[in-house]
């Protein structure tokens, strides 16, 4: 019954239906469970990894470790280092794999010594526009967690996808939540895929915990050729 209602009721009506059902069950306020994309988004600003701010959705941490351990990349390029918590997490995963480097890119240096001293991490501070992919890495994972501006996301996709093995465009959730007017990773993904890109959305990851239960809405991209 719930599945049918979820499928056919508009999202807002389904939320109201769930609310009324809970009220009827008389669950005390303190025992209510309620979270949604908005609350997870607000919470993710508090996440640290080994004490370093690491701005990712909790679901995506789980999927990243699955993907990295499966893919065993030689190189992970992260656009957008911020404090470096994400890069540190990825580098520690590569330690488990036993090989690989993380190139993390930003336009300003907020990264502390713990991250900088990790033997697998190299920091580049001139933005993705001035970073060139080295040719000696075969299996390359690109993660775009930079400005999220439509033009930049599309520009990076066009620049790096020809030499990437897998590509993650982060934070399409900002489109869904209407957070920042000029940011639109989803528009960039749609435009990129509408051409003959040779890439498609990897629904296995996007939908693992529910339809696009990720901050990277339609942002896990795999090669089709």
Summarize as ranges the residues that interact with ligand SAM (CB under 6 A): 53-56, 78-80, 82, 85-86, 105-108, 127-129, 145-147
Taking the C-alpha atoms of residue 200 and residue 79, their distance in angstroms, rounded to an integer, is 20
CA distances for 36 relative to 110, 147, 210, angstroms: 30, 24, 12
| Shorter beta-carbon distance to ligand SAM: residue 22 or 122 | 122
What is the smallest separation between the CB atom of 88 and ligand SAM, expressed in angstroms? 9
| DSSP 8-state symbol, 210 | B
| Shorter beta-carbon distance to ligand SAM: residue 146 or 172 | 146
What is the smallest separation between the CB atom of 3 and ligand SAM, expressed in angstroms? 34
What is the smallest separation between the CB atom of 55 and ligand SAM, expressed in angstroms? 4
The CB-nearest residue to ligand SAM is 86
Taking the C-alpha atoms of residue 56 and residue 215, their distance in angstroms, rounded to an integer, is 8
| Shorter beta-carbon distance to ligand SAM: residue 115 or 206 | 115
What is the smallest separation between the CB atom of 146 and ligand SAM, expressed in angstroms? 4
Instruction: Identify whether the C-beta of residue 48 lies closer than 8 Å to the C-beta of residue 74.
Output: no
Instruction: Identify whether the C-beta of residue 103 lies closer than 8 Å to the C-beta of residue 76.
Output: yes
Nearest to residue 199, comparing CAs of 170, 217, 221? 221
What is the smallest separation between the CB atom of 154 and ligand SAM, expressed in angstroms? 13
What is the smallest separation between the CB atom of 93 and ligand SAM, expressed in angstroms? 13
| Shorter beta-carbon distance to ligand SAM: residue 80 or 100 | 80
| Shorter beta-carbon distance to ligand SAM: residue 117 or 194 | 117
Please identify which residue in the block is written with the tokens 């190139």: 103
Instruction: Identify whether the C-beta of residue 103 lies closer than 8 Å to the C-beta of residue 129.
Output: no
Instruction: Identify whether the C-beta of residue 166 lies closer than 8 Å to the C-beta of residue 222.
Output: yes
| Shorter beta-carbon distance to ligand SAM: residue 43 or 198 | 43
**Cα 112 to the chain's mean position, in Å?**
22
Taking the C-alpha atoms of residue 10 and residue 204, their distance in angstroms, rounded to an integer, is 24
């Amino acid at each position: 019954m719930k599945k049918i209602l979820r499928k056919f009721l508009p999202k807002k009506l389904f939320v109201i239906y769930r609310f009324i059902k809970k009220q009827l069950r008389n669950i005390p306020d303190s025992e209510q469970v309620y979270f949604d994309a908005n609350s997870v988004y607000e919470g993710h600003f508090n996440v640290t990894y080994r004490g370093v701010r690491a701005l990712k959705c909790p679901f995506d941490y789980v999927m990243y470790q699955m993907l990295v351990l499966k893919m065993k990349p030689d190189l992970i390029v992260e656009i957008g280092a911020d404090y470096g918590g994400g890069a540190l997490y990825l580098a520690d995963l590569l330690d488990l794999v036993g090989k690989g480097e993380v190139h993390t890119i930003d336009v300003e240096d907020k990264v502390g010594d713990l991250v900088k001293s990790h033997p697998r991490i190299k920091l580049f501070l001139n933005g993705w526009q001035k970073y060139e992919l080295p040719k000696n890495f075969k299996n390359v994972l690109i993660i775009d967690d930079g400005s999220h501006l439509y033009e930049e996301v599309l520009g990076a996709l066009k620049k790096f996808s020809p030499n990437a093995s897998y590509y993650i465009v982060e934070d399409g959730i900002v489109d869904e939540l209407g957070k920042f007017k000029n940011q639109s990773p989803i528009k960039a993904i749609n435009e990129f895929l509408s051409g003959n890109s040779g890439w498609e959305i990897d629904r296995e990851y996007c939908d693992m915990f529910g339809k696009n239960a990720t901050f990277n809405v339609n942002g896990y991209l795999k090669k089709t050729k």
